[in-house]
């Protein structure tokens, strides 16, 4: 008997999952189709996919912003794009936009679209982990905000027990490894994924598509939606369908293609 045979909910849920957009309005490109740069263009296409797929959720798993000194115009752009959606949007900080005392998340306000004002944009900002429940679509979401990208940061530490009546979705920004070794930061082990109890684990940090499913937990990096920020494996989002009969199905959807020559950040180094 699979975990789906015991599920109380019969709700089918479709979500769009992205990460590592690295918005930075200081960088301008004349070839980005009316947007200031390729990151803005790619993020707009992520929203297009969520609308076209009639998604129940949009998950943004870290590094939406490239650093904590982004322009107010970047906040305006994000608010405008997310306002196009009616479905819940859940955001988790990453290693570029960590939630520390200088956090970019202290600066941005989503106004009427924020969950604090009854809106559809939700931030997971608790560094000990936080849960959101959306009973109308049969989903519970958990994530641990990153305060510091360091070896001591364990993205899947203290995952709560499964909720038997809802789909269990996790968000984690870090590096998946077979087992924890050395002093690498924000490691996520295969065992932690397998034992998490999540039906779907939305990963962020790696800029190319990678499937890291373990046991009954489907898990993947969608990679950056910005093709210029990755190799040939970039420029995608993940579309995950959670179905009581078939479990979790994941599709890779291309939203951006690399330009030639590859775009550069303002200080001259290529995004990694």
Cβ-in-10-Å burial (0-12, 13-18, 19+) of 163 comes to middle
> Is there a domain that residue 248 lies in?
yes
> Is there a domain that residue 144 lies in?
yes
Q: Which domain holds residue 35?
A: 13-254
Confidence band, pLDDT 50/70/90 cuts, at residue 10: low
Question: Are 170 and 124 spatial neighbours (Cβ–Cβ below 8 Å)?
Answer: no
> Is there a domain that residue 1 lies in?
no
Angle subtended at Cα 224 by Cα 167 and Cα 184, rounded to the nearest 5 degrees = 85
pLDDT at residue 272, as a whole number: 36
> Is there a domain that residue 118 lies in?
yes
Mean pLDDT of the chain: 89
Q: What confidence tens digit (pLDDT) does each residue in 106-139 have? A: 888 775 566 665 589 999 999 999 999 999 999 9
Confidence band, pLDDT 50/70/90 cuts, at residue 263: very low
Confidence band, pLDDT 50/70/90 cuts, at residue 258: confident
For 3-12, 40-49, 60-69, which range has the lowest pLDDT when averaged over its residues?
3-12
> Is there a domain that residue 39 lies in?
yes
Q: Return d(Cα 130, Cα 148) in angstroms, integer.
A: 17
Q: What confidence tens digit (pLDDT) does each residue in 159-207 have? A: 999 999 999 999 999 999 999 988 899 999 999 999 999 999 999 999 9
pLDDT at residue 86, as a whole number: 95
> Is there a domain that residue 271 lies in?
no
The CA-atom distances, in angstroms, between 2 and each of 7, 198, 199, 217 are 9, 13, 12, 12
The alpha helices in the chain, defined as continuous H runs, are: 38-52, 72-82, 190-195
The number of beta carbons lying within 10 Å of the beta carbon of residue 17 is: 27
Q: Total domain count for the chain?
A: 1
Per-residue pLDDT, averaged over 249-260, amounts to 88
Give me the CATH number covering residue 74: 3.60.21.10
> Is there a domain that residue 7 lies in?
no
pLDDT at residue 115, as a whole number: 66
> Is there a domain that residue 3 lies in?
no
> With 90 as the cut, is the pLDDT of residue 264 above it?
no
């Amino acid at each position: 008997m699979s975990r789906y045979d015991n599920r109380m909910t019969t709700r089918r849920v479709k979500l769009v999952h992205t990460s590592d957009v690295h918005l930075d309005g200081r960088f301008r490109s004349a070839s980005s189709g009316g947007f200031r740069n390729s990151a803005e263009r790619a993020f707009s296409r992520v929203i297009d996919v969520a609308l076209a797929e009639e998604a129940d959720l949009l998950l943004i798993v870290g590094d939406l912003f490239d650093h904590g000194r982004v322009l107010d115009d970047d906040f305006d752009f994000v608010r405008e794009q997310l306002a196009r959606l009616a479905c819940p949007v859940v955001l988790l900080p990453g290693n570029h936009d960590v939630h520390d005392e200088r956090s970019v998340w202290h600066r941005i306000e989503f106004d009427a679209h924020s969950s604090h004002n009854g809106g559809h944009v939700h931030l997971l900002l608790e560094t000990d982990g936080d849960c959101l429940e959306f009973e109308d679509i049969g989903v519970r979401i958990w994530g641990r905000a990153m305060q510091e990208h360091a070896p001591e940061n364990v993205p899947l530490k203290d995952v709560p027990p499964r909720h038997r009546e809802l789909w269990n979705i996790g968000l984690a920004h870090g590096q998946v490894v077979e087992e924890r070794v050395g002093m690498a930061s924000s490691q996520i082990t295969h065992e932690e994924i397998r034992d998490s109890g999540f039906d779907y684990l939305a990963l962020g940090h790696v800029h190319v598509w990678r499937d890291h499913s373990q046991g009954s937990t489907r898990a993947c990096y969608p990679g950056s939606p910005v093709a210029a920020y990755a190799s040939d494996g970039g420029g995608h989002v993940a579309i995950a369908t959670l179905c009581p009969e078939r479990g979790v199905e994941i599709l890779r959807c291309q939203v951006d293609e690399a330009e030639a020559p590859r775009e550069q950040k303002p200080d001259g180094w290529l995004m990694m």
